[in-house]
Amino acid sequence: MDVIFLHGPAAAGKHTIGTVLSTLVDMPLFHNHLVVDAVSALFDFGTEPFIQLREEMWLAAFKVAADASRSFIFTFNPEATVEPGLIKRLDAIVQERGGRIWYVALNASDDAVKARLNSPSRAQFGKLLDAELYATLKRDGRFDFPALPAALISVDTETQAPIESARMIADAYTRVKQIQ
């Protein structure tokens, strides 16, 4: 059981690349906004009940998938409302069941992020769309998060098309799986 854990800033292309990658590696995409949007129906983003329920749902999804030996791709935007210890707990759930999380860093400059924020595809998930708000949140430390575990691969999503990024990730994943 494997999790390909795509992480990066808002508008780095996590969902777009994850969708393409899903077909290349034959794994479903578990986009983090599926949980964020569900929890937002009950609680405002960033409130204690929101944070608690989002974490419980992510943990439950990882546990049930790991118990079923169901590999998947997960998207994650490191930001200050996520309890930093969550990453270790997710990793432990997968490892305790014989699986592995493969971290993949998706990178894009602030200019690229701001240019992509108003993309129509972002609106369907209620994602951050406002470049000014993004700049304010970043300045206020809302995207601060401890470093994630070492990445299998780091991809600059600003310099290539999503299909190229997805192919790079699929190739890196295939190579490490062949070695195991």
Contact predicate 3/18, CB 8 Å:
no
Segment 146-171, tens digit of pLDDT: 789 999 999 999 888 999 999 999 99
Which domains occur in the chain, in start order? 2-179 (3.40.50.300)
- Predicted TM-score (pTM) above 0.85: yes
Is residue 2's pLDDT more than 60? yes
Is residue 13's pLDDT more than 80? yes
Contact predicate 127/75, CB 8 Å:
no
**Which pair of tokens denotes residue 5?**
């854990």
Of the candidates 179, 180, 29, the residue with the CA atom closest to the CA atom of residue 104 = 29
Segment 31-63, tens digit of pLDDT: 988 999 899 999 998 899 999 999 999 999 999
Segment 109-121, tens digit of pLDDT: 767 765 655 666 6
Is residue 20's pLDDT more than 60? yes
Band of residue 11 on the pLDDT scale cut at 50, 70, 90: confident
Cα–Cα distance, 168 to 27 (Å, whole number): 16
Q: How far is CA 47 from the centre of its chain?
A: 20
Is residue 129's pLDDT more than 60? no
Per the rule left: phi > 0, alpha: psi between -120 and 50, beta: everything else, 98 is left
